[in-house]
Amino acid sequence: MATFAVNATARAIPHGSVTGNDTSSRLLLSPSSSSISFVSSRSPTSFLGLRLAEPLAAKVPALCRRSHASGLRVVASASASDRPTVLVAEKLGEAGLALLREFANVECSYKLTPEELRAKVAHCDALIVRSGTKVTRKVFEESKGRLKVVGRAGVGIDNVDLQAATEYGCLVVNAPTANTIAAAEHGIALLAAMARNVAQADASMKSGKWQRNKYVGVSMVGKTLAIMGFGKVGSEVARRAKGLGMHVIAHDPYAPADKARAVGVELVSFDEAISNADFISLHMPLTPDTSKLFNDETFSKMKKGVRIINVARGGVIDEDALVRALDNGTVAQAALDVFATEPPPEDHKLVMHENVTATPHLGASTVEAQEGVAVEIAEAVIGALRGELASTAVNAPMVPSEVVISELSPYVTLAEKLGRIAVQLVSGGSGIQAVKVVYSSARDPGDLDSRILRAMITKGIVEPISSVFVNIVNADYTAKQRGLRISEERIPHDSSPAAPLDSIQIHLTNVDSKFASALSKSGDIIVEGKVKDGLPHLTLVGSFSVDVSLEGNVILCRNVDQPGNIGEVGKILGEDNVNINFMSVCRNAQRKLAIMAIGVDEEPSKETLNKIGSIPSVEESVFLKL
Ligand SMILES: NC(=O)C1=CN([C@@H]2O[C@H](COP(=O)(O)OP(=O)(O)OC[C@H]3O[C@@H](n4cnc5c(N)ncnc54)[C@H](O)[C@@H]3O)[C@@H](O)[C@H]2O)C=CC1
Ligand SMILES: O=C(O)C(=O)COP(=O)(O)O
């Protein structure tokens, strides 16, 4: 018995079945799910007077017309029963479901327990979720390799274990653009509702009171709003807040300053943003760097009586610290759409706080956004199941061993590490726009396909500052989305063409650096690396030649060239049980300035790094996590 799912809508779908001219075929009608199944006991040949030949899908439009003539409106079709199976685990817009049903068997099962989800994925080729489903390593384990794609119908992918997905060869795609406006509008809705006590006053009226004096609000016009994270949502909130007459500033270490200027917004440092703002609106992803970024220390730097809006992720705020800040009046009010644990416990102190306006993660929940997100994710999932390159892929699919480019492989590692080093040398507030990559090679220009190297440089630059996973599939898309212009240059190198490359240099133009020595005379951050004995090495920082193997993490110090420096740094690291794996010193003249590049196996503690920074002869130092 073959079953062909046909998505249909009808003003009123009757229960039961309709038998066609071919008595072996029936339409099963289900009013509850608005679905119609075409059921046949043998290979179907005709239905409703229509001759059906393989492939069935080609005949479905006509089948739909005939069904329509029979009083039903069939809007999508299906092909054969060996189609992929897509599990939709959270509510998805109808337009997206219709697209999916044209291509796959679609099972919509909401509110699954983790155990139920794990049991189902073993029979699914694709899984579609929103923020409410945790797609854990166990899910990938249980799927035993059948799950080919996870579609996140929205932006934040912090609920999907991307590392596990990658390990299990499962592509993860998201829908990054369709809910931007909805989230921005919700941010503005919360801003205005909080300023004018709308929710509190409404609750008071519903309890029979008329408290005009209690709910005097504050005006928004002329107030300073700090947008933390000037990406898609943050910039749309900025535009709208300017329309309300607010003075808008923003902090985003990685956003291009011209993008902000175009909206009339000044990019400022983190401290400047939080200490000058009357309202602070959070729009950054949840990453290890942003986790609990708003804590006792950062609240203490804010203007007394500041108001905070969070439509990003609950985890960027230390929730206990926010309760304290609300209780002591540092924060006058907060409007929160997101929580560290969702749903939060019933007696959650923030939800219950009288100065907090709370919504249950509604940022993306408009009719329009959900239809848009559903279509965006359905197209991405279908494309991925067809094996097409997905422009919204957020993780790296397993590269089959036959595709591993053994010759380029150490350069692939080098490229990513150089990208990571370069981005960590940028100081906040300056934004990265232009990246120039210079490949020095003895080979003919046509001999080097640099796409994978460029992708890995993009990965190295973007991943430490966002929740996006970059791979060969989505690197160029990601760079474009973030306004990163990556240009590549080949310079001939006079050596043996046995190796594909001599060196890779990365120039970040027009940026400030937290390690001034990384800046070249032209003001660019420059880092260069080479492969030596199969291992990536850092060979140039700014105009200083160095040589440090990039096996662990790296500390760079600029110091006065005098005896005792190496010993002192080594002693401090030793006291913290940090093992040095490589070290090089480069100086421009005797007893003047030197750059020490130290490769370390472990991550030194903050105190250890401070101790190194405060050695009198050390003028500047930076720790680079690789
Ligand atoms: N409440 C809801 O329903 C929704 C929530 N979101 C959340 O909103 C956030 C923003 O989404 P999009 O704008 O689409 O993402 P996006 O990637 O376009 O923007 C994020 C911005 O944050 C910046 N950023 C990264 N680290 C930062 C740091 N340490 N400090 C300041 N800025 C930093 C990035 O450079 C980027 O410009 C995400 O967390 C997303 O999950 C998005 C849609 C709906
Ligand atoms: O897109 C996002 O990041 C969101 O937070 C929206 O989440 P949702 O799809 O509404 O569960």
Cα 285 from Cα 184, distance rounded (Å) = 14
Among 155, 263, 337, the mutation site with the greatest number of ligand 1 atoms within 8 A of its Cβ is: 155
pLDDT bracket for residue 430 (50, 70, 90): low
| Mean of pLDDT values over 432-460 | 87
Closest atom of ligand 2 to 362 CA is: 10
Ligand 1 lined by 251 (C-beta under 6 Å): yes
How far does the centroid of ligand 2 lie from the alpha carbon of residue 358, in Å? 16
Cα 376 from Cα 95, distance rounded (Å) = 10
Cα 29 from Cα 301, distance rounded (Å) = 63
Residue nearest to atom 5 of ligand 2 (CA): 156
Ligand 1 lined by 255 (C-beta under 6 Å): yes
Among 111, 128, 172, 179, the mutation site with the greatest number of ligand 2 atoms within 8 A of its Cβ is: 179
Residue nearest to atom 7 of ligand 1 (CA): 312
Query: What's residue 227's pLDDT?
Result: 98
Max mean pLDDT range (305-319, 414-428, 504-518, 547-561): 305-319
Closest ligand to residue 287's CA:
1
Of 323, 251, 242, nearest to 280 (Cα)?
Answer: 251
Ligand 2 neighbours by CB, cut-off 6 Å: 130-132, 153-156, 179, 361, 363-365
pLDDT in tens, 96-136: 999 999 999 999 999 999 999 999 999 999 999 999 999 99
Among 177, 361, 373, the mutation site with the greatest number of ligand 2 atoms within 8 A of its Cβ is: 361
Whether omega for the bond prior to residue 343 falls within 30 degrees of 0, making it cis, is yes
Q: Which of 130, 283, 361, 507 is catalytic?
A: 361
CB count within 10 Å of CB 244 equals: 17
Ligand 1 lined by 225 (C-beta under 6 Å): no
Closest ligand to residue 90's CA:
2
Q: Is 361 considered catalytic here?
A: yes
Query: What's residue 447's pLDDT?
Result: 73
Amino acid at 24: S
Q: Which of 115, 116, 297, 342 is catalytic?
A: 342
pLDDT in tens, 228-253: 999 999 999 999 999 999 999 999 99
pLDDT in tens, 295-336: 999 999 999 999 999 999 999 999 999 999 999 999 999 999
How far does the centroid of ligand 1 lie from the alpha carbon of residue 311, in Å? 9
The answer to pTM > 0.80 is no
> Cα angle at 573 between 569 and 575, to 5 degrees?
120
How far does the centroid of ligand 2 lie from the alpha carbon of residue 517, in Å? 42
How far does the centroid of ligand 1 lie from the alpha carbon of residue 287, in Å? 10
Cα 28 from Cα 50, distance rounded (Å) = 17
- CA-based max dimension of the chain: 98
Q: Is residue 29 predicted with pLDDT exceeding 80?
A: no
Q: Is the ipTM of this complex over 0.90?
A: yes
Closest ligand to residue 180's CA:
1
pLDDT in tens, 6-17: 443 333 333 333
Q: Is 186 considered catalytic here?
A: no
3-state secondary structure of 90: coil
Closest ligand to residue 335's CA:
1
Ligand 1 lined by 431 (C-beta under 6 Å): no
Q: Is residue 262 predicted with pLDDT exceeding 90?
A: yes
Of 210, 150, 247, 258, nearest to 484 (Cα)?
Answer: 258
Which of 354-362's residues contact partners 24+ apart within 8 Å by CB, and which partners? 354/200, 355/326, 355/331, 356/326, 357/190, 357/193, 357/194, 357/198, 357/199, 357/200, 357/333, 359/186, 359/190, 359/335, 361/131, 361/132, 361/337, 362/186, 362/337
Lowest mean pLDDT: which of 155-164, 232-241, 267-276, 585-594?
Answer: 585-594
Closest atom of ligand 1 to 228 CA is: 31
Closest atom of ligand 2 to 131 CA is: 11
Cα 205 from Cα 195, distance rounded (Å) = 18
Lowest mean pLDDT: which of 32-41, 165-174, 468-477, 504-513?
Answer: 32-41
- Considering only residues 590 and 21, tell me which one the structure prediction assigns the higher pLDDT: 590
Residue nearest to atom 9 of ligand 2 (CA): 130
pLDDT bracket for residue 464 (50, 70, 90): confident
Residue nearest to atom 6 of ligand 1 (CA): 312
pLDDT in tens, 560-604: 888 888 899 999 999 999 999 988 988 776 667 889 999 999 999
How far does the centroid of ligand 1 lie from the alpha carbon of residue 283, in Å? 4
Among 91, 129, 130, the mutation site with the greatest number of ligand 2 atoms within 8 A of its Cβ is: 130
How far does the centroid of ligand 1 lie from the alpha carbon of residue 229, in Å? 6
The β-bridge partners of 38 are 4, 27
Residue nearest to atom 1 of ligand 1 (CA): 363
Ligand 1 lined by 185 (C-beta under 6 Å): no
What percent of the chain shows pLDDT beyond 70? 82
pLDDT in tens, 329-369: 999 999 999 999 999 999 999 999 999 999 999 999 999 99
How far does the centroid of ligand 2 lie from the alpha carbon of residue 375, in Å? 15
Cα 581 from Cα 548, distance rounded (Å) = 9
Cα 573 from Cα 263, distance rounded (Å) = 46
Query: What's residue 466's pLDDT?
Result: 79
Ligand 1 lined by 189 (C-beta under 6 Å): no
Q: Is residue 377 predicted with pLDDT exceeding 90?
A: yes
Residue nearest to atom 10 of ligand 2 (CA): 364
Ligand 1 lined by 410 (C-beta under 6 Å): no
Ligand 1 lined by 294 (C-beta under 6 Å): no
The β-bridge partners of 582 are 599
Q: Is residue 223 predicted with pLDDT exceeding 90?
A: yes
Query: What's residue 58's pLDDT?
Result: 40
Residue nearest to atom 19 of ligand 1 (CA): 231
pLDDT in tens, 384-403: 888 665 778 887 543 433 33
Chain mean pLDDT for the chain? 85
For residues 273 and 302, the answer to whether their CB atoms sit within 8 Å is: no
Closest atom of ligand 1 to 176 CA is: 14
